[in-house]
Homo-oligomer: A and B are copies of this chain.
Amino acid sequence: MKQSKLFTKTRREAPADEVSKNAELLIRAGFIHKEMAGVYSYLPLGLRVIKKIENIIREEMNAIGATEMIMTALQKKEVWEKVGRWSDDMVDVWFKTKLKDGVELGLGFTHDEQLVNLLTEYISSYTDLPLYVYQIQTKFRNELRAKSGIMRGREFVMKDLYSFNRTQEDLDKFYEEVKKAYMNVFTRCGIGHRTYTTFASGGTFSQFSHEFQTVSEAGEDTIYVAEDKGIAINEEVLTDEVLKELGVEKKDLVLKKSVEVGNIFKQSTKYTDPFNLFYTDEEGQKKSIFMGGYGIGVTRLMGTVVEVLSDDKGIIWPESIAPFAVHLLALGDGEILQEASKIYESLQKSGVEVLFDDRAEVSAGEKFADADLLGMPYRAVVSARSIKEGGIELKKRTEEKGEIISLEELLKTLVP
């Protein structure tokens, strides 16, 4: 894509009311636009990142046998009342609205109830199980405060997966598979090395749930990590009994601030029984279905990557989710621009995703600063000097110095 065709521009300043680093950088770089606190539009560059994250998640979900569908934001009161979650006293993040005839509706902040209710029309036999379904969908949460940029949105994109098994043991087994798939997602998105599978509070049906906590000063959570044992514990469950159970000593724990990028939970029969979602086994016996729920905040994940991988010059996208693989800069017009245009076309023909800074009347300094702020993994510069020295100056965003290489070498490095 030619940068001259990109309507977004970089800005020196984020909106005065924006206090989070992720939103500040993303707004300055033109990835997102703030509509109001916790509500952001995704501009062309931002949408490209979202789609790449979604596709990584999709691949990992499909790999464990899950099927994609999509449910609605508008949800019926009756469905939520069944397990007592309609009341604002029970759920403090409801957005509610009304049909013309006055009937109250909720805007989905999760879809456990709605899905279980839906499945009563389809699931009835042991032959229907196991079942794993997920969606990537927009959720609404009426947060009292929304000061963490896209890490805590009032409107945000989430992947939610739900599992349905015949037995607790089958659920336990699938839960472990999801655990691995989730770490794959975070690793592929470039934050695996900072993300811990963390013991968190369970519920009626299991002692623990697990959160995926990415270490970051911007995090709203506090975890304790026993690095040697590879164990992380959310402070909410940190008791002497738990430590004993996990075989961890208090002195080995290090406190860290972190962002919850995902969580997995065994709901067992909490929703299935009340909604009469049962199955009939081989002997004709009616049996309970064991459910699990698994979430990844897609937009939160994007915000977390920005928080933990940026430097004082701007964003540093991992190759897997960068909007473009390379940022090609033409430092000059005439012959230089012509040469850069040829390279742009070669890259495009070879299937390399390239953002081409072809803007006239923008100084080399501004172009360099923009490239650092936008954060593509590679920067390729075409200038009088680079042409004289026989090629293109290629530099990784994470490195200080580049080197002059030929077009052939450039293609070799970048062609996927």
A positions within 8 Å CB-CB of B? 4-9, 30, 33, 35-36, 39-44, 46-47, 50, 65, 67-76, 95-100, 107, 114, 118-119, 121-123, 127-128, 131, 133, 138, 140, 142-144, 154-155
Which of A97, A133, A143 has the most chain B CB atoms inside 10 A of its CB? Answer: A97
A76 to B142, CA, bound (A): 14
Q: Give the residue name and chain of the B residue nearest to A144 (CB).
A: B100
Asked if B121 contacts A33 (CB within 8 A), the reply is yes
Q: Give the residue name and chain of the B residue nearest to A79 (CB).
A: B35
Copies of the protein in its oligomer: 2
Asked if B138 contacts A67 (CB within 8 A), the reply is no
Q: Say whether, besides A95-B97, A118-B33, A142-B99, A74 and B44 are in contact (CB < 8 Å).
A: no
List B contacts of A121 (CB < 8 A): 33
Of B33, B47, B107, the contact of A68 (CB 8 Å cutoff) = B47
In the assembled complex, 23 residue pairs joining A and B whose CB atoms fall closer than 8 Å, in A order, are: A5-B65, A7-B67, A30-B122, A33-B118, A35-B71, A36-B74, A36-B76, A41-B69, A41-B114, A42-B69, A43-B69, A44-B67, A44-B69, A73-B140, A73-B155, A74-B95, A74-B140, A74-B154, A95-B97, A95-B98, A97-B97, A97-B107, A107-B107
List B contacts of A73 (CB < 8 A): 73, 138, 140, 155
Q: Give the residue name and chain of the B residue nearest to A111 (CB).
A: B41
Asked if A5 contacts B67 (CB within 8 A), the reply is yes
Of B39, B72, B96, the contact of A39 (CB 8 Å cutoff) = B72
Asked if B72 contacts A35 (CB within 8 A), the reply is yes
In angstroms, how far is the closest chain B Cβ from the Cβ of A278?
15
Of B122, B138, B144, the contact of A138 (CB 8 Å cutoff) = B138
Asked if B119 contacts A7 (CB within 8 A), the reply is yes
List B contacts of A43 (CB < 8 A): 69
A67 to B1, CA, bound (A): 10
A155 to B7, CA, bound (A): 29
A147 to B201, CA, bound (A): 45
A128 to B50, CA, bound (A): 25
In angstroms, how far is the closest chain B Cβ from the Cβ of A137?
9
Asked if B97 contacts A70 (CB within 8 A), the reply is no
A76 to B39, CA, bound (A): 10
Contacts A39-B72, A95-B98 supplied; 16 other A-B pairs, CB < 8 Å: A4-B127, A7-B119, A7-B122, A7-B128, A7-B131, A9-B122, A33-B118, A35-B76, A36-B76, A41-B114, A43-B69, A44-B69, A50-B70, A73-B73, A74-B155, A95-B97
Asked if A74 contacts B39 (CB within 8 A), the reply is yes
In angstroms, how far is the closest chain B Cβ from the Cβ of A145?
9
Q: Say whether, besides A75-B35, A118-B33, A128-B7, A41 and B67 are in contact (CB < 8 Å).
A: no
Asked if A72 contacts B9 (CB within 8 A), the reply is no
List B contacts of A122 (CB < 8 A): 7-9, 30
A74 to B34, CA, bound (A): 12
In angstroms, how far is the closest chain B Cβ from the Cβ of A134?
10
In angstroms, how far is the closest chain B Cβ from the Cβ of A27?
9
Asked if B74 contacts A35 (CB within 8 A), the reply is yes
List B contacts of A123 (CB < 8 A): 7
Asked if A70 contacts B99 (CB within 8 A), the reply is no
Of B4, B72, B114, the contact of A155 (CB 8 Å cutoff) = B72
List B contacts of A4 (CB < 8 A): 127
In angstroms, how far is the closest chain B Cβ from the Cβ of A93?
9
A72 to B42, CA, bound (A): 8
A5 to B46, CA, bound (A): 35
In angstroms, how far is the closest chain B Cβ from the Cβ of A132?
9
In angstroms, how far is the closest chain B Cβ from the Cβ of A165?
13
